[in-house]
Homo-oligomer: A and B are copies of this chain.
Amino acid sequence: MSGTSDGPITEIVHVAGAHVGPLLARVEQRLLEIASDNGPVLSEHATGTITAGGKRLRPLLVVLAAGGADGDGVIRGAVAVELVHAATLVHDDVLDAAALRRGRPTVVASGGRELAVATGDLLFSRAFTELLPSGPDAVRALSEAGSALAEGELMQRADAFDAAVSVDRYLRRCELKTACLFVAACRLGSIEAGDGKALDPFARDIGTAFQILDDVLDVSGPAEQTGKHRGTDLLDGTVTLPFILARESDPALGAPPGMTPAEAEAVCDRIAATGALDTARARALDLVVQAKDSLPPGLPPAQRRALDLVADSVVARYA
């Protein structure tokens, strides 16, 4: 689910310093421990979600934001932020499972949904338990991110199928749904480095760029790259930046409920025809530039270079 491919990650770890590789290995180790210690009921679902991986972009941010710090607090922060991310993925599964269930109202499917809700809750609780020794500032960073994630989801629901959503409102949703957890990741690292909130603007901007590019990809496809059909956001009623921009030059564009997948793909083509995808991509690239510019001047060169590369990696997957 992260925005990196193996190449960039290897380079980032190389650039950031010799302590980063071992730190990430310890994070992985700890995630495995937690995945294999799921109390009286070992949920394959929880274990699978944690160990399935992804590129660990958020733990990487914690480690990089921590600068040279390499204590247990860094590990705890990286693990906690990944557990919260995993919890949101599992709760998203509740909805995916539901979609798959259409026309199949079976008890087994119902069990799957209950399982997903409970598993997400468990991962979320475990994240807080993990972070407790790091102190109230760390726990606050995580709980604020948790609230923001949920508020972002609620906002998305409130705006569903509303073709008139503004760019500002869309960007606020990106911040809540995605960027806030990037901010928490950087804060959890910065807390260990004693740096406070110096990386907040960086994290917010790359997180927002990440979400914009994700939304572009949902319109542009191809499906082989995203693992899903084009236009799934439209089918869900999620109005994103490409649609909002396209509607400026094609005001008749609508996002009504009840579209078929074929109709949604047709809307994707119509969005692409307006040039909105390029405009949205450019907006994301601007945010990445802005993110890099916002890095504090006093940052050690290796740390700055590594964070620059992370920002670039958010873009790279769409190159």
Residues of A at the B interface (CB closer than 8 Å) are 38-41, 43, 87, 91, 94-95, 98-99, 101-103, 105, 107-108, 110-111, 113-115, 117-122, 124-126, 128-129, 132-133, 135-136, 139-140, 142-144, 146-151, 153-158, 160-161, 172, 176, 237, 257-258
A132 touches B122 (CB 8 A): no
Copies per complex of this chain: 2
Task: From the candidates B150, B157, B237, B257, name the one contacting A121 in the complex (CB within 8 A).
Answer: B150
CA distance A119 to B158 in the complex (A): 12
A132 touches B140 (CB 8 A): yes
A113 cross-chain contacts in B, Cβ below 8 A: 94-95, 98
A273 → chain B, closest Cβ, in Å?
A: 26
Known A40-B151, A41-B151; further 16 A-B contacts with Cβ < 8 A: A39-B147, A39-B148, A40-B155, A41-B157, A43-B154, A91-B117, A98-B113, A107-B160, A111-B157, A114-B153, A115-B154, A124-B124, A126-B143, A128-B142, A128-B143, A129-B143
A144 touches B129 (CB 8 A): yes
A281 → chain B, closest Cβ, in Å?
A: 26
A110 cross-chain contacts in B, Cβ below 8 A: 95, 98-99
Task: From the candidates B142, B154, B237, name the one contacting A118 in the complex (CB within 8 A).
Answer: B154
CA distance A101 to B133 in the complex (A): 43
A105 cross-chain contacts in B, Cβ below 8 A: 101-103, 105
CA distance A129 to B139 in the complex (A): 8
A154-B119 in contact given A94-B94, A107-B237, A147-B126 (Cβ < 8 Å): yes
B124 touches A121 (CB 8 A): yes
A41 touches B128 (CB 8 A): no
Task: From the candidates B139, B149, B154, B161, name the one contacting A139 in the complex (CB within 8 A).
Answer: B139
Interface centre among A133, A142, A147 (most CB of B within 10 A): A147
CA distance A149 to B124 in the complex (A): 12
A95 cross-chain contacts in B, Cβ below 8 A: 110, 113-114, 117
A250 → chain B, closest Cβ, in Å?
A: 24
Q: Chain B: which residue is nearest A142 at the CB level?
A: B128
A237 cross-chain contacts in B, Cβ below 8 A: 107, 111
Task: From the candidates B107, B117, B257, name the one contacting A117 in the complex (CB within 8 A).
Answer: B117
Q: List 14 A-B contacts (CB under 8 A).
A: A39-B147, A39-B151, A43-B154, A87-B121, A91-B118, A91-B121, A95-B117, A111-B157, A118-B157, A121-B146, A124-B124, A124-B146, A125-B150, A135-B136
